Structure 1
Amino acid sequence: MKYVDEFREPEKAEALRCQIIKLSHQLEKPIKIMEVCGGHTHSIFKYGIEEILPEAIELIHGPGCPVCVMPKGRLDDAIAISQNHNVILATFGDTMRVPGSKTSLLQAKAQGADIRMVYSPLDSLQIAKDNPNKEIVFFALGFETTAPSTAFTIVQAAAEKIHNFSMFCNHVLVIPALQALLNNPDLQLDGFVGPGHVSMVIGTNPYEFISQQYHKPIVISGFEPLDILQSVWMLLQQLVENRCQVENQYNRLVQKAGNQVAINAMSKVFIVRENFDWRGLGDIPFSGLKIHPEYAKFDAELKFTIPNRKVADHKACQCGEILKGVLKPWQCKVFGTACTPETPIGTCMVSSEGACAAYYKYGRFSNFANKKLDEQQIVTLTP
């Protein structure tokens, strides 16, 4: 299969692994690398990548899962909107089972709210066209990856003069989150595997502050096993050569200046919030998007009354520490016992990009509670 099998060849993976081991022997201390994107986390565990890396290299799982960083208060706001008379709330499937302070969207649906799963914002716009006597609200969330599709949908709704449609906007920005992590004294990182999907939109230029201000290397990576292994190898080369640069391994899709059409759409439809609350990271200045006043009639926060309260996480859940990279999922007290995909306590176990879900799904967490596998293990790259 073209463009898939080529990035999963065991021989090439073994060659990269050997080069990574050689470079690791030149390092003076153990190295901590954070993969920012939840998609990378799942690839790492699906293909057993961390298990074949030398013991001196530790991969830290970052806050790049958009559902995982959604605070309970915003979930409660979405549920409150869905309980308005005559409202149909549409959202992505990942958000349906995320627990709010008292219930989830799925439970609210079971109790009578009209909540529907869609695959894109345009699906929710079609629901508005099909139900002119209902108010349709799309629960929009995600990083810059999904924000352009939300922006284009609002532009289309305005062009078609669809007045029974609005967005509950919860889009967040990756750069302020990375800056918050770098300012955290409890987290010592040596480099980043940068998010591929976000970078397809924003490009590589916005990451320059990481190398220039914080003197950390970052490599934008694709999602196949060879992509990730090559990105680790590129990071180690920078560390060995005492360089700090923004490098682009995913250059088959990511351009330096990003996707200008998508960027222009976001600039037209959104403005940056002064603050936005992130699960596990708290309030991060200028890290969230809200709908531009020009499109205020499509802003659900202005159309409906919402609680707008901050809600603390469950005391037993340690999603916050996991999202910040301070803990691994298997170190959480309730992981795999009280908290499972069937009975999730935190968001990291619910989302398809959550670190806890990755550990649980692929059953590899026990390997990290014990000694790492031998460096001479044969690479199979079998999911």
Structure 2
Amino acid sequence: MKYASEFRDGALARKVAAAIATDCEPGRAYTLMEFCGGHTHTIARYGLEDLLPPAVRLVHGPGCPVCVLPVGRIDTAVELARDHGVMLCTYGDMVRVPGSGRESLLKAKAAGADVRMVWSTLDALRLARENPDRQVVFFAIGFETTTPPTALALKQAKAENLKNFSVFCNHVMTPPAMRAVLDDGEAIPLQGIVAPGHVSTVIGTAPYQPFADRGQAMVVAGFEPLDLLQAIAMLVRQINEGRPRVENAYVRALTPEGNPKARAVIAETLTLRPSFEWRGLGTLPDSALRIADAYADFDAERRFAVPYRAVPDPKSCACADIVRGRKRPEDCKLFGTACTPDTPIGSCMVSGEGACAAHWLYGRHRDPSQRRLSA
């Protein structure tokens, strides 16, 4: 297959779903987590849950980088933009995420703060060059997918001696989050995980082997409907065989070793944080990255001495349980009432990878008879 349309062939999708139904053993349940928020949106957009047999249950995971960022980190970004007079640059879906008191970067911008939405770290570097009299801070977030561009920006800033550029680093890592979900005694027991494709193009498949060793079927998938159905079919077969292993269903983009060059630049510019607070997962050891000492001059947290303050999630907001897979968006009492895309209370309703945003956008909260299959 070469074209996206081939990965969205509805007739073929129904054939794969029928094959999955045939493979499901009578009386057996298959509870699978799609870890990545990009997968969640594909599942919702194309109605894949409606194609699958009742024995297969999909659980949404914590792979939305905006969703897992705690309120306190949003507050710090707002403080940098509002109180330190910086030009704060970040990706578009961060500007509407509510912090304490539902304050957001968008509201700070409306009140006069200089907040810029950028497409990439290159835009932030360009703004620093064009505005030598201003401090430019890049608000960096994301899993391993978006970490290499931040690392390269740090190298470039050091090479150019851009004294007015720094990074507020909030990059997190996938394996510790998976471990936290699997160790959660209150979570729904899982038999398999659809691992994230884009993250895996950086880290490869080896980091997932410890999960297979402990009994989890693991398949890395791409982001089209047929990608996900193929991965689910492979997981069902693994579970039936009783041989959990790591398989690659994203061979057009992923090699087992990932991207060694990307990992090398990350290792040069960033280092592990001893601990980091996640929304929904709590404080996890060695689960996030900070700027390495050799690049300390470009660390916004050191330059502006902004302390981190933990802040609880808004009352009644189920975002924390949703990112853990304990609840679905429609289980939250605020979903679709007090919390909508126009008036978000939790980050899961804001992010382009958030489960609540997916359920709202594609009508997954409606009665099944009112939904139209897109596959």
Give yes or no for TM over 0.5. yes
TM-score (norm 1): 0.95
Name the residue aligned to 1:275: 275
SS at match of 2:31: strand
Q: Which amino acid aligns with 1:29?
A: R
Kindly provide the CA deviation profile for residues 59-79 of structure 1, in whole angstroms up to 9, marking residues without a partner as x: 000000000001000111111
Name the residue aligned to 1:189: 190
Name the residue aligned to 1:44: 43
Give 1:85 shift: 4.3
CA contact (8 A) 1:8 1:381 kept: no
What does 1:1-383 align with in structure 2 at a 5 Å threshold?
A: 2-24=2-24, 26=25, 28-102=27-101, 103-187=103-187, 188-212=189-213, 214-367=214-367, 381-382=374-375
Give 1:364 shift: 2.1
Kindly provide the CA deviation profile for residues 118-141 of structure 1, in whole angstroms up to 9, marking residues without a partner as x: 011110010000000000000000
**Equivalents in 2 of 1:52, 1:42: separation in Å?**
15
Structure 1 residues 270 and 190, CA, compared in 2 at 3 Å: closer, same or farther?
A: same
CA contact (8 A) 1:81 1:305 kept: no
Structure 1 residues 130 and 197, CA, compared in 2 at 3 Å: closer, same or farther?
A: same
**Equivalents in 2 of 1:367, 1:148: separation in Å?**
42
CA contact (8 A) 1:80 1:307 kept: no
User: Which structure 1 residue ranges, 5 or more long, are not aligned?
Assistant: 374-378
Q: Which amino acid aligns with 2:97?
A: V
**Equivalents in 1 of 2:27, 2:176: separation in Å?**
31
**Equivalents in 1 of 2:231, 2:92: separation in Å?**
31
Give 1:303 shift: 0.4
**Equivalents in 1 of 2:210, 2:57: separation in Å?**
23
Give 1:307 shift: 3.8
SS at match of 2:184: coil
Note the aligned Cα RMSD (angstroms): 1.5
**Equivalents in 2 of 1:339, 1:51: separation in Å?**
25
SS at match of 1:155: helix
Give 1:308 shift: 1.1
Structure 1 residues 365 and 380, CA, compared in 2 at 3 Å: closer, same or farther?
A: closer
**Equivalents in 2 of 1:202, 1:143: separation in Å?**
11
Kindly provide the CA deviation profile for residues 163-191 of structure 1, in whole angstroms up to 9, marking residues without a partner as x: 10000000000000000111111221110
Kindly provide the CA deviation profile for residues 27-52 of structure 1, in whole angstroms up to 9, marking residues without a partner as x: 54221100000000000010000111
CA contact (8 A) 1:35 1:62 kept: yes
**Equivalents in 1 of 2:106, 2:99: separation in Å?**
11
CA contact (8 A) 2:151 2:266 kept: yes
SS at match of 1:334: coil
SS at match of 1:89: strand
User: Which structure 2 residue ranges, 5 or more long, are not aligned?
Assistant: none
Farther-moved stretch of structure 1 (136-145 vs 9-18): 9-18
Q: Which amino acid aligns with 2:338?
A: A
Farther-moved stretch of structure 1 (89-98 vs 26-35): 26-35
**Equivalents in 2 of 1:198, 1:281: separation in Å?**
19
**Equivalents in 1 of 2:251, 2:258: separation in Å?**
11
